[in-house]
Amino acid sequence: MREYDIVVVGGGPAGCMAAKYAAKAGASTLIIEEHSAIGEPVQCAGLISKRAIEESELKNIGSFVNCELKGAIVHSQSHELRIESLSPDKRAFAIRRDIFDKDLAKAAMDEGAELILNSKVKHVKKGGKREGAKLTILSAANTTNADVKEENEIKANVVIGADGWRSGIARMAGLTVTKNFLNCVQIEGQYEIHEPVADIFVGKTIAPGFFAWVIPIGETTARIGLCIDKRFSPHPNPLPFLKRILSGHPVIAKKYKGTQSKFTAGGIPIPTERQKTVKAEDGTGILLVGDAAAQVKPITGGGVYYGMKCGKIAGEAAARACLEKNMELLNGYEKRWQEEIGAEIAFGLKIHRLRCVLGDKDFDRICQALSKYDMIQRITNRGDMDYPSFVFRELLKNPGIIMLMAKSIIKYLYAKRKIR
């Protein structure tokens, strides 16, 4: 039976980064990924910041960058708000997640981590007394032949659950993260593109509780998608909303050329304020990281940057705990990631709740108010896609915006009980 200090379940950005840092610190590390290739199928719009690219520590960025975007246009029903990033440091990039994730996995293996593909972790259980303080990880090869059952038993001191938004590891460990998810759909298609900017479409009738996006990935191709928060939607399926904007939205339908490829559907966890991401007992430990730990920005749904950032912390903490044979050290992981992004997530949750109760006319009024020169200046100067609370805090200091939001804040306070 194979034994490791650390087994990472899931080979996405969070898992690969955790494995890289665990291996780098000297712990024997294995990644188990259920699919036959890292990064596939893609469930992502692939919009990340320059900072996220730096966080990835990947050098050959030409291999995975589709294009650089110079800003965004936010469309409400009757208004457009143009936000341009003047500083190259604040630019965003559309990337190919399949290649990005593969490069991250390779970087982890270069540090000494091992990888098993095509193997789904079914169970993690505590070993018996004879086996000492170890976790037993049961995984099975994904095969279409029902008679072929290649089961593997692997032992480890620490399991890092980096298994995405539907985390089975969180469930098995009894760790509470969140029960709420955004439901998302996306296609790639031919689209009339005039400039390298992301288009964001807000409104209750377009994407209740979230927004729709068009992200250029070439001169004539874009990713077009949306998420909804089903607690605020007349129905939980986001597909009819996507079909509706593709065929009838005054901006999207005019520019979309009717071709479709790479349909994807997925979920994005909506964090809660009481997340528990560490279980350390009897000389063993389980950590959650990335989407499994709901480490995402509630305002934009982006999770790649936070996942990698927290992956590094998880990998280091797990390696230290194993090498020093002290599982208490794992608790430092939750403290550290909360210090890094906890306040940002908590503030983002408030903005998300507020957005959920806004109507189309509210979005119009807000876009109109923000279009004023000084407001746009503030957004441009303070805006940061990884830490969006900076700019929201700034805007909420403005008496005009406060007046505008007063009605929505009352609606929000009323709805708060419902959307905890």
Ligand X SMILES: Cc1cc2nc3c(=O)[nH]c(=O)nc-3n(C[C@H](O)[C@H](O)[C@H](O)COP(=O)(O)OP(=O)(O)OC[C@H]3O[C@@H](n4cnc5c(N)ncnc54)[C@H](O)[C@@H]3O)c2cc1C
Q: Which residue has the tokens 């007046």?
A: 403
- The answer to whether the CB of 246 falls within 8 A of the CB of 203 is no
- Residues between 229 and 248 that touch ligand X (CB under 6 A): none
Determine the 3-state secondary structure of 184 from DSSP. Answer: strand
Instruction: Report in angstroms how near the CB of residue 30 gets to ligand X at its nearest.
Output: 11
Instruction: Report in angstroms how near the CB of residue 404 gets to ligand X at its nearest.
Output: 28
- Residue 216 touching ligand X (CB under 6 A): no
Q: Which of 285, 311 has the CB closer to ligand X?
A: 311
- Residues between 89 and 148 that touch ligand X (CB under 6 A): 120-121
List 27, 48, 212, 288, residue binding ligand X (CB under 6 A): 48
Q: What is the DSSP string of 54-103?
A: HHHT-S-GGGTEEEEE-EEEEE-SS-EEEEE--SGGG-EEEE-HHHHHHH
Beta strands in 180-283 (DSSP E): 181-190, 198-202, 211-216, 221-229, 261-269, 278-281
Selected range binding ligand X among 83-91, 105-113, 249-257, 286-294, rule: CB under 6 A: 286-294
List 29, 186, 233, 277, residue binding ligand X (CB under 6 A): 186
List 45, 137, 224, 245, residue binding ligand X (CB under 6 A): 45
Q: x/- string (CB under 6 A) for ligand X, residues 153-172? A: ---------xxx---x----
List 14, 351, 354, 391, residue binding ligand X (CB under 6 A): 14
- The answer to whether the CB of 223 falls within 8 A of the CB of 94 is yes
- Residue 345 touching ligand X (CB under 6 A): no
Q: Which of 50, 365 has the CB closer to ligand X?
A: 50
- Residue 33 touching ligand X (CB under 6 A): yes
Query: 263: which residues sit within 8 A by CB, 6+ positions away?
Result: 185, 186, 187
Q: Which residue has the tokens 């399926």?
A: 237
Distance between CA atoms of residues 70 and 167, nearest Å: 35
Distance between CA atoms of residues 393 and 370, nearest Å: 14
Q: Which residue has the tokens 């339908």?
A: 253
Q: Which of 28, 139 has the CB closer to ligand X?
A: 139
Q: Which of 216, 225 has the CB closer to ligand X?
A: 225
What residues line the site for ligand X (CB under 6 A)?
9-15, 32-35, 43-48, 120-121, 162-164, 168, 184, 186, 225, 264, 266, 268, 290-292, 296, 301-305, 307
